[in-house]
Chains A and B, each alone.
Chain A
Amino acid sequence: MRLPSRLGEFLAGCRDESPLLLGVAPFGMIYGIAALAAGVPAWIAQLASAVVFAGAAQLVIVQMLAAGAGFVPIALTSGLLNLRHMLYSASMAEYVRHLPRRWRLLLAYVLTDEAYAVAVLRYQRRDAPPADAPDYRHWYFLGAGFTLWVGWQLSTAVGLVFGATIPPEWELDFAVPLTFIALLTLLLRERAGQAAAVVAGAGALLFAALPYKLGLVAAILLGLVAGAWTVHRLERAR
């Protein structure tokens, strides 16, 4: 078997990431539309897709801006939500540790949910190159990340163009909480996660009166405590 070249790996990464764009594109468009509805200038909304490059966090920022939240609560909530990228980073460490720093700096930029999901599978496949042959799998990772990046920028742009032309009566901003509902349902498989969600949801109403939407941060932290406490209790019950 001929070993894949740099370009071969890169293109394979592009190819394997492409199907995921079908799921990503609607989020990008919803984000673009909701950003305009929240009063964010189009160029800043597009810039955010390049700088932050994290769908869920960008939707959260836009939703909180629309609700009139302040700087600190938005930074805290989206900062907390993006913590999960450290898990991806930790999981990827063993595969990219040997690469030069410039490569690791570049790959960190594209280490998103969807690029991670595709790239980690490549590294876990059994056809790893033999120890004496060159390993170009980081090119695959880059191809996957690059494809996702292009898809995210384009779908944001489409959302921004589309959002500027549709009337607010269509209430497309409602697609953001609907997205949260959909993702939440997928996440609620275990008891501790359910406890975290219920307590955070109730907390959001309980602390609604706090200024700058700081109540949301308090609610999420309370939800995390509830999740940790449930894990602890389930472990003791065993």
Chain B
Amino acid sequence: MSTTGLLLLLGVVGVLTYLYRYAMIGLFASRSLPGWLHALCRHIAPASFAALTASALFVTAGEVTFAFDTPRPWAALVAVLVAWCTRNVLATIAAGMAALYLFKFLASLLLAG
């Protein structure tokens, strides 16, 4: 994306985010949040993170590729297991990166041998 495009994107997301934050303490301070919006907000984060993770792992250039001969999906699997057991964000990231390096190293050994 061009520099102008990035700045414009930043402006749009920045203003939108600020308006959300100001909305109920400023713009609509006398009103309460509608129930449906409350319910909707609960599911936005899990839906967004799941879609982005699936896309980051299994989509390359608009095509679905299950590349199980590359280290990333396996490192992600390790991260999922660590996340499940520890429920610790930093441990999950550290374990995922460590697994990525380990699998890359093992793959280089296999190719060399």
In the complex, which residues of chain B have a beta carbon less than 8 angstroms from the beta carbon of A202? Answer: 54
Contact of A175 among B13, B18, B32, B93 (CB under 8 A): B93
- Whether A237 is near chain B, meaning CB under 8 Å from some CB there, is no
Dominant SS among interface residues on chain A? helix
Determine which of A23, A54, A223 lies in contact with B46 in the assembled complex, contact meaning CB atoms within 8 Å.
A223
Q: Are B46 and A197 in contact, with the CB atoms below 8 A?
A: yes
Answer yes or no: B109 CB below 8 A from chain A CBs: no
8 Å CB contact of A200 from B21, B25, B47, B93: B47
Report yes or no: B41 in contact with A223, Cβ–Cβ below 8 A.
no
CB pair B44 A108 closer than 8 Å: no
Q: Give the interface size class of chain B.
A: 35 or more
Closest to A81 in B: B48
What residues of chain B lie closer than 8 Å to A96, measured between beta carbons? 25
Instruction: Closest B residue to A203 by CB, please name it.
Output: B51
Counting contact residues on chain A (CB < 8 A from B), the size range is: 35 or more
Contact in complex: B9, A177 (CB < 8 Å): no
Which chain B residues border A210 with CB–CB below 8 Å? 62
Instruction: List residues of chain B with CB within 8 A of the CB of A219.
Output: 47, 51, 54-55
How far is the CB of A189 from the nearest CB of chain B, in Å?
10
Q: Select one of A90, A105, A174, A223 contacting B50, CB under 8 A.
A: A223
B76: A residues at CB distance < 8 A? 177-178, 181
**Contact, CB under 8 Å: B25 / A180:** no
